[in-house]
Amino acid sequence: MVHQSGYLALDLGAESGRAMLGTVDGKLLRLSEVHRFSNGPVRLADGLHWDVLRLWTEIKAGLALALRQMGTELAGIGLDTWGVDFALLDRDGGLISNPYHYRDNRTDGMLEQAFQRVPREEIFAQTGIQFMQINSLYQLFSMVRSRSRALEMAETFLTVPDLFNYWLTGRKACEFTIATTTQCYDPSRGDWARSLLDRMGIPTRMFPPLVPPGTVLGTLSRPVAIELGVDELPVVAPGCHDTASAVAAVPAEGAGFAYISSGTWSLVGTELPAPVINDSSLAFDFTNEGGVDGTYRLLKNVMGLWLVQECRRAWAREGSDLSYDEMTHLAAKASPLRSLIDPDCREFLKPGDMPARIIAFCRRTNQSVPESKGQVVRCVLESLALKYRWVLERLEDITGHRLESIHIVGGGTRNRLLNQFTADATGRQVVTGPVEATAAGNVIVQAMALGRIGSLEEGRRIVRNSFPVATYEPGDRTPWQEAYGRFVLLMDGG
């Protein structure tokens, strides 16, 4: 009988979190959900925050349920979250305040202010990261500009997953993949971008040591172990950035594939052995984020299904509480390629009345205005597919290689209409699955760290054997070609 080891993947996204129990028997990986909970911003008088104390309670609840189910067969714990957000600790290790949410307006105008202090080209040369006002660098710079007392008090900077790992183990460290999302890391030096941080007025004293993905951070701290009634249990830093874990579980063979980690954000990219920091990647505003097993992910953030999520919330406030499946069904019946948006326009970044913003964009750009919920959702899905094509073409320009197929992983794979639109818009075969790629990649890296899986290649082979995939082939591309021409013009002047 083959021994099965159990691993708990704690995967926190911007809309929900889950505790997934993974078992690996050498050939197959099986996942089961033991706990799921909501997540989202909390608005206070000083801005938009994350409720990390409630999330901490949910993490411990998930761990308790996993222990009840697996007992001593639980071999490890790994945690991943979204990128860029962080906590500041005082000299006693106490949380100074609830971490801000990346959609808070304190970073409005910070890119332009930062470039007055350090030119855009120099920031990119040191970090290789795309310019988004949500990045930790500009969140921190906004605190410098406002002379924040919290920044003066801060002894330690920890990204959100590093904060939870500190609470789990008592160890203060930043895992590599999540550190790269901050735009505070210098890949050429393999360390924090200390000269850049100095020039921005950001105190470098608070940045802790970096550790690679697959590091065993330690065991559960004594207070947590006593609370949960468990002996020593290893805590592993997987790819602590959820996209790093998701890409680790892409069921591809070999190199040269494109991926889309599809959820609230769509991360569109390819996996490479080293960052690409040159004039082309700067011109196209691409990013080089750390991956597992010594890789880098050359990619671009696309606004993703956030647009659909915000439409759903806006309509629910009006009394029309549609499910995502119902919204997609309405979109499928709407007229094709009638109106388009650039999903990454700044007006779509913040929470609010997204349908009204989409309508306003179409009116401002002299297009047919969406007149129904189905037309609004179809506009979003078609625009996302066209943006994926734009990113894919730029990836090929930068790398000099054609990317023959696209692997879509994550919760967005459930949207079969968007999957087909992606195949039609790009003219590429699209392979979707697994849905729970982040949890699968988290478990794979834990098993590698604890010596149960020998390599990332072996882990991906296990994923291929374990989860079903769906394949989408391109249909008639003629209408999409015409729409792409309109879409590029919108990007240039929308």
Catalytic residues: 242
- Please name the residues in contact with 218: beta carbons below 8 A apart, sequence gap of 6 or more: 169, 170, 171, 234, 235
Q: Distance of alpha carbon 281 from its chain centroid, rounded?
A: 20
Closest CA relative to residue 381, chosen from 286, 300, 243, 483? 483
- Sign, CA dihedral 78-79-83-86, equals negative
Task: Kindly state the tokens that stand for 131.
Answer: 């310019």
Q: How many CB atoms lie within 10 A of CB 317?
A: 10
Task: Kindly state the tokens that stand for 13.
Answer: 């996204």
* DSSP summary character for residue 21: E
- Please name the residues in contact with 404: beta carbons below 8 A apart, sequence gap of 6 or more: 256, 257, 428, 429
Q: Secondary structure of 424-486 in the HEC alphabet?
A: HHHCCEEEECCCCHHHHHHHHHHHHHCCCCCCHHHHHHHHHHHCCCEEECCCCCHHHHHHHHH
Closest CA relative to residue 460, chosen from 248, 269, 243? 248
- Please name the residues in contact with 412: beta carbons below 8 A apart, sequence gap of 6 or more: 260, 262, 263, 266, 304, 305, 418
Between strands 429-432 and 405-409, the pairing is parallel
